[in-house]
Structures are given as C-alpha cells and as structure tokens.
Amino acid sequence: MAKQELKLKTSESEKITINLGPIDLGQIDLLVQEGFYSNRTDLIRTAIRNQLNAHADVVKQTVARKSLVLGMQHYSRADLEAIQAAGQRLQIQVLGLASIASDVSVELALATIESIFVLGALHASTVVKTALAGRIH
C-alpha cells in the first residue's frame, strides 16, 4: 500500500495563488484567446519552467552545496525502524517532495528525525507534522 500511496502523491501538484494586475491578466487572456496557450495555467506554468531553466545552473550548484536530495524522498515505517535500530537519526534535506508514510507513529518520527528542511512540499500526517514542528526549517 505504501507504493500506491506514493504513486498517488507524486501525481499531485501543490496549488499556489498569485495576484496579477489587470493589464498583465489581460495580456495573458489575449495570448490564450489567440491560441498560444490552452489556458491561463498553461501560460503561467510555461513561464515558470522557462525561468527555472534559465536558473538551472544556480539550482544545481545550490543543491550540491547544501547536500539536498533533488526530487522525491519517501520514508516508510520500515525505513525509520531500520534507522532507529541502527541508533541513527535523520537530517532530511529535500528540494522537491519529502514524504513520511501515514503509518509512521509520532514516537518513531521523534526518535529518528532530527531535522527537516524541504524546499517544495512535505507530506506527512498532521500529528507527525505537529510533533516535528520544532524540527522543520
């Protein structure tokens, strides 16, 4: 079930809200109307991807410098139990999606996760997020 849960989460996207002035919005609507983009979201996603591509070298350098996992990192209950058995603690550092399985108890999370730094999204149960709040940066 953990693989199915992970598969569902990877297809999700995070919703953001932006404010635009009427002139910018009108220009977006014009480009959509003229067929350059299928909708407003298509234009905005394209613009964001173009900017990310323009800054790709900076992202790569920063990921390497900060020792971030780029992409998706999932922690199952078995992963955390193995870390606990080895007497280790995690410093989770992810650019993308970090997820902690829904069957991970608060006690196990507190015993094994020293810190969490995520640029992107963190998926975990509400109780685990609440318990780890002081360790999330």
Residue with the larger pLDDT of the pair 13 and 116: 116
| Mean pLDDT (whole number) for 74-86 | 97
User: What pLDDT, on a 0 to 100 scale, did the predictor assign at position 11?
Assistant: 56
- Give the span between the Cα atoms of 58 and 72, in whole angstroms: 19
Its pTM stands at 0.72
Edge-first strand order for the sheet with 113-123 is 69-75, 90-100, 113-123
Q: Would you place residue 42 in the very low, low, confident or very high pLDDT band (cuts 50, 70, 90)?
A: very high
Q: Is 94 left (phi over 0), alpha (psi -120 to 50) or beta?
A: beta
Do residues 113 and 16 make contact, with C-beta atoms less than 8 angstroms apart?
no
Q: Answer yes or no: are the C-beta atoms of 55 and 62 closer than 8 Å.
A: no
Nearest to 76 by CA among 113, 41, 111, 102: 102
Q: What is the pLDDT of residues 94-132, one digit of tens each?
A: 999 999 999 999 999 999 999 999 999 999 999 999 999
Q: How confident is the model at residue 4 (pLDDT cuts 50, 70, 90)?
A: very low
DSSP string, 38-86: SSHHHHHHHHHHHHHHHTHHHHHHHHHHTTPEEEEEEE-HHHHHHHHHT
User: Which band of pLDDT confidence, cut at 50, 70 and 90, is reported for residue 3?
Assistant: very low
pLDDT band at 66 (very low <50, low <70, confident <90, very high): confident
Residue 6: band (very low, low, confident or very high) from pLDDT cuts 50, 70, 90: very low
76 CA to centre of own chain = 17
